[in-house]
Amino acid sequence: MVSPPLSDKVLVVIGGTTGLGLSAARAFLAAGARGVVVTGRDAANAALAASTLGPACVACPGDAREPAHAEEAIALARKNFGDFHGLYHVAGGSGRRMGDGPLHEMTDDGLRATLELNLHSVMLSNRAAVRQFLAQKTGGAILNLGSVLGWSPSPEYFSTHAYAAAKAAMIGFTRATAAYYAKHDIRINVLAPALVETPMARRAAADATILKFIATKQPLDGGRIGRSEDCDGAAVFFLSDAARYVTGQMLAVDGGWTVSEGQIPPSPSPVN
């Protein structure tokens, strides 16, 4: 009998109490994970997520921007499940309400807050995971959630430049650290979705003009917004032993965003 891909793994999902992170945590458990720790800023959401996912899931409320947060989550994983094999960093979000936007409109506070949320938090969680892997002398896997906006911009509809910069920097950071720690069997990769229907995407998901754009920019499966579960299979792969020979890579799960113009309506199907 073939073992499930994440059989006996103990994983931490930073930002795992809603949206993409919660969906991934559910998929990890379904794929055989022994235990999953989910973290999030809202203590009530964290408790609800853990209770929904069952006894193999433990919540760790806290802010990913705090240096000790990921360390606490990893310690909790080891305490409750006896090990630590991988980290998935999902926490982040749009800085639009904090003052991010086109460069000439961006506020100082918006720039600072957006980078702290989307880049600094990633560096902090990755540092905590690497330190633990080195202490264990076991190797391990890290997956960071990026965005296609890190290299494939949409100037008309998604012009948050600090957010795009943070996601681009995440790719460079991931590749640099992957190169450095490969000799320790620590694998670090990026998963980059396009527009996915999550709490962060409410503004876009409710905008008829953006939905019309998405119909041609993300043309797969009828030209729809992505769903959280669209990314789950790739996340399971990267954190499993099936990806033991993969590091420093970036995978777009984007419905066709990066290969589509997004302005031209699809042609009618050819008549045979």
pLDDT in tens, 152-199: 999 999 999 999 999 999 999 999 999 999 999 999 999 999 999 877
User: Which amino acid belongs to residue 8?
Assistant: D
pLDDT value at position 263? 84
Tell me what percent of the residues of the chain surpass a pLDDT of 70. 96
Examine the pLDDT at 266 and tell me if it is beyond 70: no
Examine the pLDDT at 272 and tell me if it is beyond 80: no
pLDDT value at position 166? 98
- Kindly list the strands in the beta sheet with 35-40, ordered across the sheet, starting from the edge strand earlier in the chain: 57-61, 35-40, 10-14, 86-89, 140-145, 186-193, 250-253
* Region of 25 on the Ramachandran plot (φ > 0 left; ψ -120 to 50 alpha; else beta): alpha
Stretch 62-90: mean pLDDT, rounded? Answer: 98
pLDDT (tens digit per residue) in 57-70: 999 999 999 999 99
pLDDT value at position 269? 56
Examine the pLDDT at 213 and tell me if it is beyond 70: yes
Examine the pLDDT at 205 and tell me if it is beyond 80: no
Verdict on whether the full-model pTM lies above 0.75 = yes
- The helix, strand and coil proportions of the chain, stated in percent and rounded to the nearest 5, come to 50, 15, 35
Residue-range domain boundaries for the chain? 10-199+228-254
Confidence of residue 204 (pLDDT cuts 50, 70, 90): confident
Confidence of residue 142 (pLDDT cuts 50, 70, 90): very high
Mean pLDDT for all residues in the chain? 94
Stretch 258-269: mean pLDDT, rounded? Answer: 78
pLDDT (tens digit per residue) in 21-30: 999 999 999 9
Beta-ladder partners of 239:
none
Stretch 202-206: mean pLDDT, rounded? Answer: 77
Indicate which residues carry an active-site annotation.
163
Q: Contact 63/124 with Cβ under 8 angstroms?
A: no
pLDDT value at position 85? 98
Examine the pLDDT at 125 and tell me if it is beyond 70: yes
Examine the pLDDT at 203 and tell me if it is beyond 80: no
Superfamily of domain 10-199+228-254: NAD(P)-binding Rossmann-like Domain (3.40.50.720)
- CA-wise closest residue to 34 among 87, 98, 82, 90: 82
pLDDT (tens digit per residue) in 23-50: 999 999 999 999 999 999 999 999 999 9
pLDDT value at position 95? 92
Examine the pLDDT at 259 and tell me if it is beyond 70: yes
- CA-wise closest residue to 172 among 144, 138, 201: 144
Tell me what percent of the residues of the chain surpass a pLDDT of 90. 89
Stretch 79-90: mean pLDDT, rounded? Answer: 98
